[in-house]
Structure 1
Amino acid sequence: MKNIIIVSFALLFAMNICAAKKSKVTPLQFNPDNGVKASLTMTDGKVVNYTAYTKLYFVTNVEDSTYQYMNIFVPEGATHQSPMFLRTYVGGYMASEAGYPQAQDASGRALAEGYVLVIPGSRGRTSTVKQGKKTIYTGRAPKALLDLKAAVRYLRHFDNVIPGNAEKIITDGTSAGGAMSSLLGATGNHPSYAPLLKAMGAADERDDVFASVCYCPITDLDHADMAYEWLYVNTDSRKSLSASKQALSQELAAQFPSYINSLGLKKADGTALNAENYLDYIKQILIKSAQEAKDAGADIPDSLGFSFSSMAAFQAPVNGQSSRPGMGNNRAEGMPGGERRPSVGRPGGGRKPSAGMPPMRISGRKMVGEYITDLDMGKYLNYVVSTQPLKGVPAFDSYNVDGAAASGENGEFGNAQGSDVNFTSWSAEKAGTAVSEEVKENVRLLNPMCFIGDGVSSVAPHWYIRHGARDRDTAFSVSINLAAKLQNSGKDVNFKLPWNRPHSGDYALNELFAWMAEIVK
């Protein structure tokens, strides 16, 4: 007889009382005998065998059967101690169906590395169902997050029969999915979500996670417009806008310093991170990113705004020739075949490299290992803008502001009838409306910054955050602030602005999975 595990009738009854009247009641269940054997061929030719468990509904009151279930994939050799990798494919705050492992991204890599892979579906701002002749939007904020939290609760509810360790859940997502991953990590077990999850029929379990992987998270939406304009207001792109748009950009940019100061963030050395030093803080992170890439062989042209160290004042004789003091980069670049390898001088012109300084070698216009000493942020931001046009003004809460159309985020905070709404008081005032209390609460529920360090949330102990060094989909500060607040709260945070990366995710998988291997030991 098949070993089907079902939540108790009493629990179902309690959950159903709170259910929406038109919901379909589907008992939570997991049958370990229902797995289907399959395999995945990785890009290197390796074949990964696994068992798939599909169409696992994670709530008892299923409002939208297209999305409110998950698929679980158990690789050969997995045990109840194997960590679990929860990959969400949410993008643009839209609905995401439960999918299957892909050899090209982190889902397939996770299987190959022995992780139990979980791919949940979730409703989004575009998901709808028909109720009679009416079209109902099922996934407006915070429904996607609730679905993902319900998925985590499901994994804990059946932890004794599903292979994998529900105490070692690592979430992963990109863009709006990165925001969802950050929210899963920041809002664990917070009571604000409890009544909403109960009404859905989610399992009465914990929903905190072990680690969150967040690629370019589009989050902190209620401050994203001011952050965006503060960063880009002086670019040539913004200066070419109409006078009314320029005025809006400047007005939004002026709000950002107060917001930064209100966060009370600190740098790694314990000093304050505030409006006065924030631009320099971004600059130092970008310099570090570019230096790391340069040391690996990347060509970093001067035109992006970087300044480079001069050659040593003294060069050692080569092949019996006399030394040639004062050689700069231009002359070094002209050496045939890179035969003369100048030593890096210490202060005072000594010949030995300074401690910790990487070796130099000729490579193109600049020298690999050469130190980046400064960055002209104006030039650099114009470079970023040249790779992809900026968003409009405002970038996120744009609905009816100076005639602008609604953004996806305006739809995210709309209602079940499909409305678009303003979700910041500034944009609402410009549009001649007001932000309702319901929308204000939904904005809060979708902002991880509101929960980190509040003493109530069970925040994930480990974080991997990446935002590309030329990703203009939201300001660098959104990920920087998230990382800083987590670090200030004592969390383990691995954060970078990877060099020359656009808006993207699941890259540098060797680096990601090496980090994951360390934290799950």
Structure 2
Amino acid sequence: MNHKQLVAGLVLGAGALTAMAQTDPLRFDPSKFTNGSITMPDGQEVTYKAYEGIFYVKNVEDPTYQTLNIYVPDKMADIARVPILLRTYVGGYAASTAKSPSPSDATGRALQEGYVVCIPGSRGSNSTIERDGKTIYTGTAPNGLLDLKAAVRYLRYNDALIPGESELIFTDGTSAGGAMSSLLGATGNSKDYDKYLKKMGAADARDDVYAAICYCPITDLNHADMEYEWLYGCTNTGVRHLSEAQIAISDELAAECPAYINSLGLTEKDGTPLTADNYKDYIKSFLIESAHRALQEGCEISDTIGFTFYQDKFGPMGGGPGAGRGGMRPAGDQRPPMGDGRQAPSFGPGNAPRFNKTSDFVTGLDLDKYLGYVASVTPLKTPPAFDQMGVLIDTPSPENKVFGNDKGEAANFTDFSLRHRLHNPNAKLDKDMVERVAIMNPMNYIGSGKSDVAPNWYIRHGAKDRDTSFLVPINLATKLQNSGKNVDFALPWNRPHSGDYNLDDLFRWIASNLEK
């Protein structure tokens, strides 16, 4: 029992708490729990109290998904203020149920650390209900995000009753879940969502969070297609093997990207403006740092994927072309280095080091060659990567589906793809779609003054993750840092599209931010 529960219990008593919960559907009842446990990879058994199946809005539309679970470790962290890890399992913008903690991801580790865990469900592109004999799709944008914001409000509304500090909520998600985590971090208390949340019957409380943990966030969707082609267009006639029609679309999209990059007004840490002219050098600095750290930790890196090395540093370990550098692992071993979680580089965007050729392993990178390597590991998406419906194929993407309607009809969410699908050069998204797209993009809120942006950010995107362009997480991290936020960003070496890895690094970061 923490101090908040003790005070509540002394003032109200168990009976009064239960009565209050019965009269207020959003009031947490601390007496309704079951006991549970998980066994961690190190063999430790972690026991906890489980509060499950809690509705976090009054006007529940989809009871399958609009619930949350709260897990309180029996051995709480011996610290003054215990954080709450809010983990979303959203993937592909689909619906996600409220799940149980797992020993293999951050939820189990958080319980082991003595932190409170909240796992909310949320609606998504595939969630449906039956109403008046018709199938209604309940998860069209922004409903999934609204559900998660309502879950945050529930925690704050019940701060006096739920163990843990609602002022110390750390959100965590991967892929589309990483996008949701970034949106929770960027859009706190924005009035843009009030009308939706009021209609849902969300708690009358704040929805800003203390920190956002974002693994490979699939976000900035209305610019992601142009960013993908601008970066990967160098592979179109080689590894990617695009058709003439696909190359034409790729080139057209890529041509739109420089204006977007320039419009962001981003700067490196020293104030140097980032533009389309120097942006690829900026990307290279993160990849070089990733490779440099990997070599320090014993990973083998081939000479054939674009990196150059300081030869004298290695002496006899250097080998000939293709032999690789580092010598600590067999050639061709592509496992992420140091499987115990000791990898992630820690530097803020705009602060990537400029390497000294007399003291560092990696001295340069042929970016086009490296991107060819990434494309050879996992085939790239064909253009457009996200808003694909009706451009060269009729099949909708998950993103097309989530921006569709309650009848299950998918929709375009960029003017570019709408123009191509309708064969109308003047076609534009309607007002409703423009609003929905805008409130699903964290880039529109950072530095805008329209929201309370989380002060702390942990962003990771694998160095061989091709599910979205490197520009997406780099822009997000850089804009946050330019806005004065505490950002820990990296492109971890050899990581594909994945999340909740290197948990030692993550939880060191969490602990360091609890000390502030």
2:449 is aligned with 1:455: yes
Amino acid at match of 2:233: V
Deviations 1:46-70 (A, max 9, x none): 0111100011100000000000010
Is the alpha carbon distance of 1:183 and 1:312 closer, same or farther for their aligned partners in structure 2, counting shifts above 3 Å? closer
Q: Give, in angstroms, the shift of residue 279 of structure 1.
A: 0.5
TM-score w.r.t. length of structure 2: 0.86
1:381 maps to which of 371, 374, 399: 371
Moved more, 230-239 or 244-253: 230-239
Partner of 1:495: 489
Give runs of ≥4 in structure 1 deviating > 3 Å.
5-9, 236-239, 327-331
Q: Give, in angstroms, the shift of residue 97 of structure 1.
A: 0.2
Deviations 1:129-181 (A, max 9, x none): 00021000001000010000000000011110111100000000000000000
Distance in 2 (alpha carbons) for counterparts of 1:7 and 1:520: 31
Q: Helix, strand or coil: the match of 1:53?
A: strand
Contact 2:355–2:362, Cα closer than 8 Å, also in 1? no
Distance in 1 (alpha carbons) for counterparts of 2:447 and 2:180: 18
Deviations 1:304-329 (A, max 9, x none): 1111112179x9xxxxxxxxxxx894
Distance in 1 (alpha carbons) for counterparts of 2:355 and 2:433: 53
Distance in 2 (alpha carbons) for counterparts of 1:91 and 1:405: 19
Partner of 2:502: 508
Q: Helix, strand or coil: the match of 1:255?
A: helix
Deviations 1:220-250 (A, max 9, x none): 0000000000011111457621111101100
Amino acid at match of 1:64: D
Contact 2:240–2:379, Cα closer than 8 Å, also in 1? no
Partner of 2:266: 265
2:440 maps to which of 429, 436, 446: 446
Distance in 2 (alpha carbons) for counterparts of 1:241 and 1:404: 18
1:476 maps to which of 459, 470, 477: 470
2:121 is aligned with 1:121: yes
Distance in 2 (alpha carbons) for counterparts of 1:463 and 1:402: 37
Distance in 2 (alpha carbons) for counterparts of 1:69 and 1:175: 21
Partner of 1:38: 36
Distance in 2 (alpha carbons) for counterparts of 1:488 and 1:5: 49
Q: Give, in angstroms, the shift of residue 371 of structure 1.
A: 1.4
Query: Where does 1:70-81 land on structure 2 (aligned, <5 Å)?
Result: 70-78=68-76, 81=81
Deviations 1:258-303 (A, max 9, x none): 0000000011121111111001110111000000000111111101
Moved more, 386-395 or 71-80: 71-80
Distance in 1 (alpha carbons) for counterparts of 2:146 and 2:317: 59
Partner of 1:275: 276
Partner of 2:53: 55
Q: Helix, strand or coil: the match of 2:312?
A: coil
Amino acid at match of 1:481: N
Identity %: 55
Query: Where does 1:66-465 land on structure 2 (aligned, <5 Å)?
Result: 66-78=64-76, 81-235=81-235, 236-237=237-238, 240-311=241-312, 329-330=318-319, 371-432=361-422, 434-465=428-459
Distance in 2 (alpha carbons) for counterparts of 1:386 and 1:112: 39
Deviations 1:378-417 (A, max 9, x none): 1100100011111111000011002342111000100101
Is the alpha carbon distance of 1:141 and 1:5 closer, same or farther for their aligned partners in structure 2, counting shifts above 3 Å? farther
Is the alpha carbon distance of 1:237 and 1:119 closer, same or farther for their aligned partners in structure 2, counting shifts above 3 Å? farther
Q: Give, in angstroms, the shift of residue 330 of structure 1.
A: 4.1
Contact 1:175–1:215, Cα closer than 8 Å, also in 2? yes
Distance in 2 (alpha carbons) for counterparts of 1:81 and 1:328: 50
Is the alpha carbon distance of 1:395 and 1:490 closer, same or farther for their aligned partners in structure 2, counting shifts above 3 Å? same
Q: Give, in angstroms, the shift of residue 374 of structure 1.
A: 0.8
Moved more, 234-243 or 163-172: 234-243
2:18 is aligned with 1:4: yes
Amino acid at match of 2:203: A
Amino acid at match of 1:490: G
Moved more, 427-436 or 170-179: 427-436
2:483 is aligned with 1:485: no
Contact 2:477–2:487, Cα closer than 8 Å, also in 1? yes
Distance in 1 (alpha carbons) for counterparts of 2:378 and 2:276: 27
Is the alpha carbon distance of 1:141 and 1:393 closer, same or farther for their aligned partners in structure 2, counting shifts above 3 Å? same
Amino acid at match of 2:43: G
Contact 1:78–1:163, Cα closer than 8 Å, also in 2? no
| CA RMSD, Structure 1 to Structure 2 (Å) | 2.3
Distance in 2 (alpha carbons) for counterparts of 1:425 and 1:8: 49
Is the alpha carbon distance of 1:7 and 1:31 closer, same or farther for their aligned partners in structure 2, counting shifts above 3 Å? closer
Q: Which runs of 5+ in 1 are unaligned?
A: 13-26, 316-326, 339-355, 361-368
Is the alpha carbon distance of 1:175 and 1:301 closer, same or farther for their aligned partners in structure 2, counting shifts above 3 Å? same
Distance in 2 (alpha carbons) for counterparts of 1:259 and 1:357: 29
Distance in 1 (alpha carbons) for counterparts of 2:188 and 2:20: 25
